[in-house]
Amino acid sequence: MPSKRPGLGCRSNCYKACKVIEEPANRNELSEEPSRTLEESEGETFFDGVPLEKIANEVGTPTYIYSAKSFKKQFRELEKAFKGVDSKIFYSVKANSNVNIISLFNQLGSGFDIVSGGELHRVIAAGADPKATIFSGVGKSVSEIDLALKAGIDCFNIESAPELDRIIERSRVFGKKPDISVRINPDIDALTHPYISTGLKENKFGVDRASALKLFKSAQDSKYVELVGIDAHIGSQMGSEKPLIDSLLRLLQYAKEIEAQGIQLKHLNIGGGFGVPYKGEKIFPLRKFATAAEKIMNGTGKQLRIEPGRYLTANAGLLLTRLEYLKKDNNGKHFAIADAAMNDLIRPALYNAWHQIWPVNPQAESVTEDWDIVGPICESADFLAKNRNLSISEGGLLAVLSAGAYGMSLASNYNSRNRAAEVLIENGTARLIRRRETIEDQLALEIIQE
């Protein structure tokens, strides 16, 4: 059996990695350190008990690899944090949409937060009950609404007046009366990257107070919808509990206003957004938030709903890639060219996101330098990491850590690259849960004239 080496981060002379392991910002609050599930034994690196080299040899690279143990641990941790309050977890499917992972969360008792008909199809394909699904998003089409009405989802999270009109109309056609919630835009700064901040008035999400009051009235007057809740989602990768507490207090204040009009609400939904450590940064103080939420919610008779995505998945996954070339030109710049690219993991290009790079089984001939880890795509934004002091060699494997959330679900075919394979490790066994795409898969959709 491989031995656990908590100081593993030091092996590659990675200063930042060492910091992660040795000086966690607040150990009590760490949800999952990026390299906690990595182990090393006799020069071999294992992820959740399986040698990464073996997976690379059998499945090829680039490949996403996930740990079922880690998904489960995160889910149980959340459940535990909120056990003092009537609450329900709705896994936000967009973070990682593989049907096998949806199925895993279904078995753990999770509900699902979806934003498209496609995600609803995935929930159904995973064998989950659509009745435990809530449907968010600003642009629900008629066909998506019809699909959700037929499937009998738990609740539509309404984001605008015309959307409510459309849902009322489609419910009338189907003779249904679905539960709805109104998404509030509380104009609260989530203090996160601007691209993933969603609760400010300049963001397209939710409605302001005046519009919300009108929506509540329309819902109350309609025979075709039942207003049962209000919701908000102010942003992702939050490091502080304060904006989320402010948002929950705002929801409660709205709830009181609605209830004064004779409508009884059943739930307040605070959305997702709990941050995770990517490099030992201060992360979301879950227990502090849960304690505050408990105080706010208890006595209200309402359920607290949460829609976590990243918290459940980010540190349960890595992207395994092989180095094609080491290129030491361009006035002293050192580029390590990997077979994974921005089409596989777009987070560094899109948000300048930092992912820990882990050289797997470095060889004697490995060269320690400051490297930019880049992909083969024709864009200068095609990088996985910049200026990392690493010991690597051509043909060697790298693990890009914390890639379980918004990795594969944002992958594309840019430069006609086939999307990566996905592997799930469960009880010490690695299982292919998505085969590598082929060029035939890509071309199958294109209509070629005779």
Tell the smallest beta-carbon distance from residue 359 to ligand LLP (Å).
Answer: 24
Residues 345-364 that bind ligand LLP (CB under 6 A): 347, 351
Count of residues binding ligand LLP (CB under 6 A)? 21
| Interface residue with ligand LLP, options 32, 113, 339, 422 (CB under 6 A) | 113
Q: For residue 357, what are its two tokens? A: 């790079």
Give the range of 32-40, 252-260, 301-309, 368-376 binding ligand LLP by CB under 6 A: 301-309
By DSSP bridging, strand 63-67 and strand 38-41 are unpaired
CA angle 125, 127, 129 (to 5 degrees): 110
Residue type, 133: T
Size of the chain in residues: 450
Give the range of 35-43, 158-166, 309-317, 426-434 binding ligand LLP by CB under 6 A: 309-317
Residues 320-349 that bind ligand LLP (CB under 6 A): 347
Buried-state track 77-88, b at ≥16 Cβ within 10 A, e below 16: ebeebbeebebb
**In sequence order, which residues have a C-beta less than 8 Å from that of residue 152 and are 6 or more positions away?**
130, 131
200 binds ligand LLP (CB under 6 A): no
Query: From the CA atom positions of the chain, what is the Rg in Å?
Result: 23
Give the range of 239-247, 308-316, 335-343, 424-432 binding ligand LLP by CB under 6 A: 308-316
Residue type, 183: R
406 binds ligand LLP (CB under 6 A): yes
Separation CA 118–CA 129 (nearest Å): 15
φ, ψ at 85 (rounded to 5°): -135, 145
Residues 254-273 that bind ligand LLP (CB under 6 A): 271-273
Tell the smallest beta-carbon distance from residue 138 to ligand LLP (Å).
Answer: 10
Site string for ligand LLP, 51-90 (x = CB under 6 A): ----------------------------------------
CB atoms within 10 A of CB 104: 23
Separation CA 168–CA 172 (nearest Å): 6
CB atoms within 10 A of CB 3: 9
Residue with smaller CB distance to ligand LLP, 281 or 324: 281
By DSSP bridging, strand 155-158 and strand 133-135 are parallel
21-28 contact pairs (CB < 8 A, 24+): 21/280, 23/280, 24/277, 24/280, 25/277, 25/280, 25/281, 25/282, 25/283, 26/282, 26/283, 26/285, 28/287
Residue with smaller CB distance to ligand LLP, 8 or 155: 155
Active-site annotation holder among 14, 18, 155, 378: 378
Site string for ligand LLP, 221-260 (x = CB under 6 A): ------------x--xx-----------------------
Question: Is 155 a known active-site residue?
Answer: no
232, 250 in Cβ contact below 8 A?
yes
Residue with smaller CB distance to ligand LLP, 51 or 199: 199
Site string for ligand LLP, 142-181 (x = CB under 6 A): ----------------------------------------
Tell the smallest beta-carbon distance from residue 136 to ligand LLP (Å).
Answer: 4
| Interface residue with ligand LLP, options 87, 98, 133, 136 (CB under 6 A) | 136
Residue with smaller CB distance to ligand LLP, 46 or 91: 91
φ, ψ at 375 (rounded to 5°): -110, 180
Residue with smaller CB distance to ligand LLP, 46 or 66: 66
Tell the smallest beta-carbon distance from residue 78 to ligand LLP (Å).
Answer: 10
Residues with catalytic function: 378
Site residues (vs ligand LLP, CB under 6 A):
92, 94-95, 113, 136, 196, 233, 236-237, 271-274, 307-311, 347, 351, 406
